[in-house]
Structure formats: structure tokens, C-alpha cells
Amino acid sequence: MTEMLSVVDLHAEAGGREILKGVDLTVDQGETCVLFGPNGSGKSTLMSTIMGYSNITVTSGQIIFKGKDITDMPVDERAKLGIGMMMQRPPNIYGVKLGDLIRVASPQNGEAVLADADKFKMSGFLDREINVGFSGGEIKRSELLQLTAQKPEFILLDEPESGVDLENIDLIGNKVHDLLYDSACPGRGRHVSSLVITHTGQIMDYIGADKGYVMKNGRIQCRGNPLELLKEIKKNGYGECDACRMIRL
Amino acid sequence: MQDDKAVREALSKKGAYGADIDLDRYEEGSRDAEQISDLKDSKYSAYMEKVGVIADEMNRSGTLMFIDNAPSHCSSAVQEGLEMMPLSQALKVHDGLKDYMWKAVSPTKDKYTAKSYLEDSDGYFVRVKAGYHIKDPVQACMMLDTDRTIQNVHNIVIVEDGASLEMITGCSTSPHANDSLHVGVSEIYVGNDASLAFSMIHNWGKETGVRPRTGTVVGKNSAYTNNYVILNPVGTLQSFPSCTLDEGSSALYNTMCIAHEGSDIDTGGLVYLNGRGSSAQIMSRSISMGGHMCARGRLVGNAPEVKAHLECRSIIMKDGGSTSAVPELEAHVADVEMTHEAAVGKIAQDQIEYLMSRGLSEDEAVSMIVRGFLSGSINGLPAELQRELDEAISQANLGD
Ligand SMILES: Nc1ncnc2c1ncn2[C@@H]1O[C@H](COP(=O)(O)OP(=O)(O)O)[C@@H](O)[C@H]1O
Ligand SMILES: [Mg+2]
């Protein structure tokens, strides 16, 4: 399989502190990879670095996407290359309506997706200022609506199910599924690659997973079968990861 | 009757805010203007459109146009309850109009008002009779067309009891009249159970001086909205419109400004909440592109159950200028709820990058945020104005 994304010995700092301390990770084309790790280990920072947010400075290492070195590429060019991100805590955009952004950002599919907004329980939010006063679940659904219009080839999903109540988890799970699978052509299977941060693994019920990574203290601690990793973490917590040398990279 | 001597003395009285302007630098503006019957075909139509005045008058109840100090066009769709004409003419047909002259703005306020008073300035007169709701906006255009002159106008708007009106005024300078001065006295009267949305859109020259003086008197249970928009370069502009509210009435002041390099803008709103249960909001959104910007707001609570909020937000896009927000609250009774917020800074990078992560270029992201900042989070803009504003923002050349 060809590599979609590869992160090579990536070091990055934010707020004057080194947060990523040599991250190595690959996502192959069509692959769904999950990323586990304790709070504060640097998972969200890694995603923001891959997306290109400038509050994080890469000090060494590389990010290769579809064979291209994108380490120094501005955010919009990464988006145009096919990277999309569901942020854990997206910023409030005062004065800009959600519907307007979708229309401007996705001239081809924007309107069609907006017409479908009720399927995301978002029709009442299109005239609202983006993220302003949105609840946890509303933020997820808004991010999903935007990504559905954007149609990225590779998606970074930062805790898609966290803060979502039971009633909405199906909706989120199914919409994430739709993003990754070509529903128009079921035979084709998965066509979009992804890296997904999850604590509970719940999202895996909807999208499966091919590979799992565990991040600790700014590094990838181990990688392996995602279900087994999850079982291990649920049983022994992340402390055991230190002891486990078998699948240590 | 005013004591003319006192007014003459006021001719040397500097304005409370803003740089002093030497009135002797300018000639009197002409009291003689070409009469334009079809605005579309006039050489001014492009300037008018830039300030929200629609030349073909579609979806407008009527248009009044002044060039320098003289009326040049007045037309209105047949519309019951609406009267519009030059003030000079209105004074001849309405004896009672004298009672509205210089009641909302004092002629001795400063040299600019004194000048208008002593020159007996003409201007527009718009009146909506009691009980009439005028569907489409009335528009007025003030063209400054001669360099080194003063445009000195006196406008009166009256919306009587139970009536409503939306008014759009556009002020513009011809390119060759760059170094000129606009002094406009506007007196606005809103009766009981009435509403007026008054929007002013401006497009001056890089050296134009602007010193408007606006006073509004609002009766009981009425609503007054004042939208003030200036997105293009200006020399020096200072304006601090004031309003008094009676029982149960509300005032909303929205100011949207861009201070370009070389521009000095000092504007805002002052509301006296004199009636029980009256409310006011002063919202200012400004951007400094290297110019000087001062956003003022002052709320005075003189009656119980008053609610008022003041919000000045400013984005600095370029160094070289200065930005200040001056919010003032003053209460004379205990039972009031008055708050203010002020923020000055640059656009947050994470907001720009968030939009870029959806595929917008940096310029597109910045202009979307700026547009939203200027108008999107302000409530109560008439739909018509929102469209004009979007157009003006897209023409305002926010990039380099
Ligand atoms: N902009 C920043 N400035 C300073 N510290 C930051 C910044 N962003 C993240 N951090 C810190 O980096 C560490 C990793 O954060 P994060 O990537 O959000 O962790 P995770 O997503 O794994 O919970 C945390 O200690 C966090 O406080
Ligand atoms: Mg996180």
C-alpha cells in the first residue's frame, strides 16, 4: 500500500516548550489509524502540526503527505492537497455564519450539504456565528458538516465522540463513517484515510480501525492492533505501556 | 429665538473633540446646483451607488440629493404619509416647523453648528405623518463637488406618532473636491410608538474634513437605530451624535469604521436614557489600517429600570496609527443596568487558520473575518443596508 502520510522524527514546540519530541507515524492510503494516549501527551498538538497551525513551531523532522514534504506549507495549501481536520476545540469566529463559510469554502458541494443540514441536526445553526456558544456535541456536528462539504482525502479527527451524548453518538458515528466510505459506491470500500484520536474507542464501532498508535510524552510509544491496544489500555491504563516493550517502536 | 450674538460668539468655539478646523480656509459652498431629473444618467451615479444611494431608485420610496449647498434632485414615489423636500421649501409651507429648528442640536454647541445657523443652511426635510409606515427606504445623497469649499447643510427628519421609516443617507466627495469640509447639522425627531432606522454611509476624499452634528429626540415606546459606516479614506472626521430617550424607548447605535493610513476618525454615540425603562446599545466595530481611530460611547442613565450596553471592538491590521476606545457610563439613579466592553487587538491567527483549513486563502479568510467583524455580529441592521455594506466592504480594498 502507498503511504498517505508519514511523520518522520517530528519535533515541535509551542509556548516555548517542546511538546512533540520525535514523533514517527505513518498512515497508508485508505487506512484508518487510531491514536491513543493520556491527556497532555501531545495528540492534539500533533494533529495541529500536521494541519499546519502556526502556534506550533516545527524544530526538526518532516511531514510528508502524498509524497510531498509539507512541513513548511501554509494551512490552506495543505487543505487544497486534501487534508481536513475536526478540531477538538475550534476557535469562535465572531460575525461569520456557519452557512456562509460552507458556501464560500466549498463552492461545488456547499449548497447540497447545506440542504442536508437537518441530517446533521444543524439546520438551525447555519445562520449562527461559527462555534460561538455551541455545545460540545454541536461543535462536533458543525465540524462534520464542514468536512462533509470539504471532502478531504485524509482526515484528522480529534476525539470525535467526546462530549457527545448517547442520543447523538450514532449520528456522529454514522456521519464519520460516511466521510470515510464512498456510500455511492459501496463496493469500493474505504477511500478516505484518517487519523483518529479516541479515548473510549467508541468511534471504532462505526469506522473500524486498521492500526493503532499510543502516544506518551510527545512520542509514539507503541503501535499495533487497535483493538488489542484498546483492550490493554482499558485493563492496565497507560502505565503498562511503559512496561510493554514488545511492540515498542 | 436664539440670541444671534451668542451664536456669532460660538463661531470661535472649538469642537469638544477632534482637531480644530480653520473655517476660513474654505469658500462657501455653492447655493446653486444643476437640477438633475434622472439620477441614473448623471455623472454622480457611480459615487451615489458607493454610498448606498440607488441611482435608479428601485425599492426606494424617494430620493433627495444635494450638491454642495443646494438641492439638485427631489423625487418620491406616490406614497401617502410621506413628505420630502428641501428644508428651505418646507419652512415656507409648514409654519410649525420652526418648533423643530435647533431643538435637538444647539447652534452654540461649537463653531460648526454656529456656522450652519448663521448661514441659514438648507438641507433635506423628511416627514412621515402619524400612523404611516413607509415600506421602502427614503434615500438622501450629499455630494461635495467643489474643492476648498464647505458643504454646510441642515437636515430635519420627523417620524410622527405610530409611524415608521427607514432612511439611508450617503455622503460622497467628487475626486476633485478632495480638500473640502462637510458640516452637517441633522435634527431627528421620533414620536411615540414610532420607529426610525437611520443609516449613514460615507465615501470621502483622503483630505476631506468632516464635522457632522446630529441630535435625536425619541418619544415614548419608540425605537431608533443609527448606523454609521465609513470604510474609505477620509482626512479628519469627528462626530458624536446624541440622543435622548423617553419612557420605554430604545436606541441602537452601530458604528463601522476603517481608519486607513492618513485618516483620523473620532466617532461614536451618546445616549441619555431619560425615560423609565428605556434602553440603549452602542456598538462600535473599527479597523485600523494604519490610521487613527477613536471609538467613543457614552451612556447616561437618568431614570429607573434603564438598561444599556456599550461595546467597542477594534482590530489593528497595520501599524502606524493608533486606536482608542473610550467607553463611559454614568448613572444618576440606583435602579439601572449599564455595562460596557472594549477590546483592541489584531485578528487572532487561529481564526484565520481555521478558515484556511477549510480551503480559504489567507486573504479570503482575513476578509471574511473582517466582514463578519464589521457587520456580522451586529444585530438589527436593515437587510437592505446589510447588502450595501457587504458591497462597500468588498470595495474597501482591505488588502495591500
Ligand atoms: N500553544 C500551547 N502553548 C503552550 N503549551 C501548549 C500549547 N498547546 C499545547 N500545549 C501543551 O502541550 C501538551 C500537549 O497538549 P495536547 O496536544 O493538547 O495534548 P492531548 O491532546 O494529548 O491531550 C499539554 O501539556 C498542553 O498544555
Ligand atoms: Mg487533545
**DSSP string of chain A?**
--EEEEEEEEEEEETTEEEEEEEEEEEETT-EEEEE--TTSSHHHHHHHHHT-TTSEEEEEEEEETTEE-TT--HHHHHHHTEEEE-SSPPPEEEEEHHHHHHHH-TTTHHHHHHTGGGGT-GGGTTSEETTT--HHHHHHHHHHHHHHH--SEEEEESTTTT--HHHHHHHHHHHHHHHB-TT-GGG-B--EEEEE-SS-TTHHHH--SEEEEEETTEEEEEE-HHHHHHHHHHHTTHHHHH--TTB-
Q: Does residue A54's CB lie within 6 angstroms of at least one atom of ligand 1?
A: no
Comparison of pLDDT for A134 and A238, the residue scoring more: A134
Within-domain flag for B37: yes
Task: Point out the residue among A53, A80, A100 whose CB comes nearest to the CB of B350.
Answer: A53
Q: Grid coordinates representing B120? A: 441659514
Name chain B contacts of A75, Cβ cutoff 8 Å. 353, 356-357
Distances from the Cα of A209 to the Cα of A183, B56, B217, B319, angstroms: 18, 62, 68, 50
Q: Give the ligand whose atoms come closest to the C-alpha of residue A19.
A: 1
Q: Check residue B44 and give its pLDDT.
A: 86
- Give the 3-state secondary structure of residue B143: strand
Q: Grid coordinates representing B14? A: 472649538
Q: What digits encode the pLDDT tens for the residues A203-222?
A: 999 999 999 999 999 999 99
**How many structural domains compose chain B?**
1
Indicate the domain borders of chain A: 3-246
The answer to whether A213 and A224 are in contact (CB under 8 A) is no
A79 contacts B377? CB cut-off 8 A? no
The answer to whether B321 and B351 are in contact (CB under 8 A) is no
Ligand 1 probe mutation, A13, A17, A19, most atoms within 8 A of CB: A19
**Which chain B residue has the Cα nearest residue A146?**
B358
- Give the 3-state secondary structure of residue B384: helix
The CB density around residue B50, as the number of other CB atoms within 10 Å, is 19
Task: Point out the residue among B358, B361, B369 whose CB comes nearest to the CB of A146.
Answer: B358
Most A CBs within 10 A among B313, B356, B369, B373, hence the mutation to make, goes to B356
Q: Does residue A19's CB lie within 6 angstroms of at least one atom of ligand 1?
A: yes
Closest CA to A191 of A153, A229, A156: A153
Q: Is pLDDT at A1 greater than 80 in this prediction? A: no
Range of the domain at B85: 4-395
Distances from the Cα of A119 to the Cα of A85, A109, A123, angstroms: 20, 15, 8
Task: Point out the residue among B354, B373, B376 whose CB comes nearest to the CB of A91.
Answer: B354
Task: Point out the residue among A55, A93, A146 whose CB comes nearest to the CB of B369.
Answer: A93
ipTM for this model: 0.95
The answer to whether A84 and A47 are in contact (CB under 8 A) is no
Report how far Cα B20 is from the mean position of its chain's Cα atoms. Answer: 20
The H-assigned helical ranges of B74-218 are 87-93, 111-119
Angle between helices B362-371 and B383-395 (to 10 degrees): 140
The answer to whether B169 and B197 are in contact (CB under 8 A) is no
Q: Check residue B46 and give its pLDDT.
A: 82
Interface residue B373 vs chain A (CB under 8 A): yes
The CB density around residue B103, as the number of other CB atoms within 10 Å, is 13
Q: Does residue A183's CB lie within 6 angstroms of at least one atom of ligand 1?
A: no
Q: Sort strands A68-69 and A57-65 into parallel, antiparallel or unpaired.
A: antiparallel
For B283, the enclosing helix (H) or strand (E) is strand B279-289
- Give the 3-state secondary structure of residue B370: helix
Ligand 1: atom nearest CA of A39 is: 23
Interface residue A105 vs chain B (CB under 8 A): yes
Name chain A contacts of B359, Cβ cutoff 8 Å. 76, 79-80, 105-106, 150
- Range scoring the smallest mean pLDDT among A22-26, A29-33, A185-189, B165-169: A185-189
Name chain A contacts of B354, Cβ cutoff 8 Å. 87, 90-91, 93
* Distance from residue A87's CA to the centre of ligand 1 (Å): 13
CA atoms within 13 A on the CB side of B369: 27
The CB density around residue A182, as the number of other CB atoms within 10 Å, is 13
The answer to whether B323 and B286 are in contact (CB under 8 A) is yes
Interface residue A146 vs chain B (CB under 8 A): yes
The answer to whether B180 and B147 are in contact (CB under 8 A) is yes
Q: Grid coordinates representing B393? A: 466592504
Within-domain flag for B400: no
DSSP character string of B317-367: EESSSEEEEEEEEEESSSSEEEEEEEEEEPPPHHHHHHHHTTT--HHHHHH
CA–CA gap between residue B309 and residue B327 (Å, rounded): 10
Q: If you search the block for the grid coordinates 460540545, which residue do you land on?
A: A136
Q: Is pLDDT at A33 greater than 90 in this prediction? A: yes
CA atoms within 13 A on the CB side of A205: 11
Work out the minimum CA distance from A91 to partner chain B, whole angstroms. Answer: 6
Interface residue A84 vs chain B (CB under 8 A): yes
Residue nearest to atom 7 of ligand 1 (CA): A14
Q: Does residue A17's CB lie within 6 angstroms of at least one atom of ligand 1?
A: yes
Work out the minimum CA distance from A229 to partner chain B, whole angstroms. Answer: 31
Q: Is pLDDT at A4 greater than 90 in this prediction? A: yes
Ligand 1: atom nearest CA of A41 is: 22
Low-confidence ranges of chain B (pLDDT < 70): 1-2, 376-385, 388-389, 392-393, 395-400
CATH assignment, A3-246: 3.40.50.300
Residue nearest to atom 6 of ligand 1 (CA): A14
- Between chain A and chain B, the number of residue pairs with CB atoms below 8 A apart is 82
Q: Indicate the DSSP class of residue B373.
A: I
Ligand 1: atom nearest CA of A55 is: 1
Within-domain flag for B174: yes
Q: Does residue A55's CB lie within 6 angstroms of at least one atom of ligand 1?
A: yes
Confidence band of A249 (pLDDT split at 50, 70, 90) = very low
* Distance from residue A192's CA to the centre of ligand 1 (Å): 27
pTM of the model: 0.81
Name chain B contacts of A110, Cβ cutoff 8 Å. none
Q: Is pLDDT at A184 greater than 50 in this prediction? A: yes
Residue A112 neighbours by CB under 8 Å, 6+ apart: none
Residue nearest to atom 27 of ligand 1 (CA): A40
Within-domain flag for B246: yes
A53 contacts B358? CB cut-off 8 A? no
Q: Does residue A42's CB lie within 6 angstroms of at least one atom of ligand 1?
A: yes
Diameter over CA atoms, chain A: 52
**Which chain B residue has the Cα nearest residue A147?**
B358
- Give the 3-state secondary structure of residue B24: helix
User: How far from each other are the two terminal CA atoms of chain A, in whole angstroms?
Assistant: 20
Report how far Cα B298 is from the mean position of its chain's Cα atoms. Answer: 16
CA–CA gap between residue B206 and residue B81 (Å, rounded): 40
* Distance from residue A40's CA to the centre of ligand 1 (Å): 6
Interface residue B376 vs chain A (CB under 8 A): yes
The CB density around residue A37, as the number of other CB atoms within 10 Å, is 24
Most A CBs within 10 A among B284, B352, B353, hence the mutation to make, goes to B353
Question: Burial letters for A215-248: b for 16+ Cβ neighbours within 10 Å, e otherwise?
Answer: bbebbbbbbbebeebbebbeeeebeebeeeeebe
